[in-house]
């Protein structure tokens, strides 16, 4: 009887990895929706008459509510106060609702003559563009809150076990969604309608909502077992209840600011770049539009394969701080070569995307488990939420900036179909500068690890 009480669901390797697979499906659907519109930039300009500024505005919508209305911060507080089950369900419902609004905007409200409540424009943007932005903003709140929720789920279910490997696998599975979005967007849009890829994402997210409800049943049972084990052993255990004092403790930790800065700088060189990468490859390297999205999604494919491998290495050997610095250095090389005007050979573009995929695997596999070392369990949701909040500033600001830069400084003409042509040299120089800053922060984090004893260079699995 004692053995039954002490042995918990997450003690079973098959069950804990099965639970990870269930929540990972939800994140796969989220990543698909997040990336599926990126390859369609040129089609949005020709079919729906969007401009690069419209596209940048829409893309920045993902982070708008998280940044300016602090929704991600509130999501972290809700996570630590009400737990992973409630927060996960709420986040998934927001993703479904936001994607549904986005689909509505691109169908019913598409076109320059579309009206809503007698208005054709809102805040200077066409009504269809603005409502797509609003839907993507709601989706962005749900996706980011789901991200921190799943990260805390892994920290709970894999504590003292294969933590970095599990986080790496979750990231890898999510990248399947990204790669699928990049790969199928243009073929689906050409075969059916430009909004068909979004409709598929909505269906997948509904499936993800169902999957999370299934996980909630498993997690409730694990909580009962953990309470029973504590009662059996007579141990109090570490308190996991949230206190507003935790916010101050997180903000006063130097490790928080370094991880947060590295996060925003690194991801600002990856996700915003990928939003424009399909068009960039078509215009500069002459890659056919039918495969440009697939090539733009190669970092996601690389992360799918390599992140679990790097996570396993960190679990057994450590060196997380060094790996973050290495990934940032690789990012500088990629964007610097992309910025060189005279290099137009398509194979160079593909090789650089593969290298970007390696960097994209190195840094997340080290960064997210590092947070679990720096902060106690009671502060994890708040810490992840505030890091994601700062990250979202970059995910809002950088694509908005790049869209404006393209429209103001980079237009070089039009092709025979009327599609606008751009010179991407200046945007790639901007990405290179941001990547250099990320390396500086990574080096400072490694120094802070030695000074404050975060043990980032030590393995996660001991003994």
Over residues 176-229, the pLDDT tens digits come to 898 899 889 999 999 999 999 999 999 999 999 999 999 999 999 999 888 887
pLDDT in tens, 313-327: 988 888 999 999 999
Backbone angles phi, psi at 227, to 5 degrees: -65, -40
Distances (CA, A) of 2 to 9, 12, 225, 231, 456: 15, 17, 12, 11, 36
Q: Which has the closest alpha carbon to 203: 108, 62, 103?
A: 103
Would you state the structure tokens that stand for residue 8, as one six-digit string?
């918990």
The answer, yes or no, to whether residue 462 has pLDDT greater than 70, is: no
**Mean pLDDT, rounded, of the chain:** 89
The answer, yes or no, to whether residue 244 has pLDDT greater than 80, is: no
pTM given for the model? 0.81
Looking at residues 412-420, what average pLDDT do you find? 87
The answer, yes or no, to whether residue 235 has pLDDT greater than 80, is: no
The answer, yes or no, to whether residue 428 has pLDDT greater than 80, is: yes
Domains and CATH numbers, the chain: 2-452 (1.20.1250.20)
Q: What pLDDT is recorded for position 246?
A: 75
Q: What pLDDT is recorded for position 5?
A: 46
The answer, yes or no, to whether residue 19 has pLDDT greater than 90, is: yes
Looking at residues 93-116, what average pLDDT do you find? 88
Higher pLDDT, 57 or 302: 57
Q: What pLDDT is recorded for position 329?
A: 97
Looking at residues 54-83, what average pLDDT do you find? 90
Share of the chain above pLDDT 90, in %: 61
Distances (CA, A) of 82 to 60, 74, 79, 284, 426: 29, 12, 6, 49, 46
Q: What pLDDT is recorded for position 238?
A: 47
Q: What pLDDT is recorded for position 402?
A: 96
The answer, yes or no, to whether residue 143 has pLDDT greater than 90, is: yes
The answer, yes or no, to whether residue 8 has pLDDT greater than 50, is: yes
The answer, yes or no, to whether residue 230 has pLDDT greater than 80, is: no
HEC string of 224-247 equals HHHHHHHHHHCCCCCCCCCCCHHH
Q: What pLDDT is recorded for position 189?
A: 94
Contacts of 162 (CB under 8 A, 6+ apart): 312, 315, 461
């Amino acid at each position: 009887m004692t053995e039954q009480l002490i042995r918990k669901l997450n003690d079973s390797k098959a069950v804990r990895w099965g639970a990870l697979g269930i929540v990972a499906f939800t994140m796969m659907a989220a990543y698909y929706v997040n990336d599926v519109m990126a390859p369609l930039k040129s089609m949005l300009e020709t079919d729906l008459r969007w401009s690069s500024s419209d596209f940048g505005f829409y893309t920045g919508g993902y982070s708008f509510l998280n940044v300016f209305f602090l929704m991600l911060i509130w999501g972290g507080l809700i996570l630590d106060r009400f737990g992973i089950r409630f927060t996960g369900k709420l986040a998934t419902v927001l993703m479904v609702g936001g994607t549904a609004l986005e689909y509505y905007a691109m169908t019913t409200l598409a076109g320059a003559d579309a009206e809503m409540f007698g208005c054709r424009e809102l805040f200077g943007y066409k009504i269809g563009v603005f409502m797509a932005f609003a839907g993507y903003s709601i989706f962005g709140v749900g996706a980011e809150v789901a991200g921190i929720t799943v990260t805390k789920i892994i920290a709970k279910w894999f504590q003292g076990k294969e933590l970095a490997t599990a986080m790496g696998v979750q990231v890898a599975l999510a990248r399947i969604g990204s790669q699928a979005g990049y790969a199928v967007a243009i073929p689906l849009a050409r075969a059916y309608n430009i909004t068909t890829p979004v409709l598929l994402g909505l269906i997948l997210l509904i499936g993800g909502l169902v999957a999370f409800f299934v996980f909630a049943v498993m997690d409730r049972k694990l909580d009962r077992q953990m309470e029973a084990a504590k009662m059996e052993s007579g141990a109090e255990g570490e308190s996991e209840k949230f206190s507003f004092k935790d916010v101050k403790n997180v903000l006063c930790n130097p490790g928080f600011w370094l991880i947060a800065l590295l996060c925003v700088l690194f991801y600002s060189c990856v996700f915003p770049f990928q939003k424009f990468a399909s068009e960039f490859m078509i215009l500069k390297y002459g890659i056919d539009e039918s495969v440009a999205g697939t090539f733009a999604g190669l970092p996601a494919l690389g992360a799918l394969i390599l992140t679990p491998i790097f996570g396993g290495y960190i679990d057994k050997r450590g060196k997380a701080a060094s790996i973050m610095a290495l990934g940032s250095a690789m990012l500088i090389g990629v964007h610097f070569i992309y910025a060189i005007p005279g290099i137009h050979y398509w194979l160079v573009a593909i090789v650089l995307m593969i290298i970007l995929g390696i960097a994209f695997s190195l840094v997340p596999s080290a960064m997210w488990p590092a947070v679990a070392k720096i902060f106690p369990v009671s502060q994890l949701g708040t810490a992840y939420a505030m890091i994601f909040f700062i990250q979202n500033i970059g995910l809002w600001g950088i694509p908005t900036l790049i869209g404006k830069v393209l429209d103001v400084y980079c237009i070089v003409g039009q092709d025979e179909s009327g599609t606008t042509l751009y010179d991407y040299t200046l945007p790639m120089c901007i990405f290179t500068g941001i990547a250099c800053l990320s390396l500086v922060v990574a080096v400072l984090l490694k120094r802070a690890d030695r000074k404050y004893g975060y043990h980032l260079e030590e393995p996660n699995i001991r003994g």
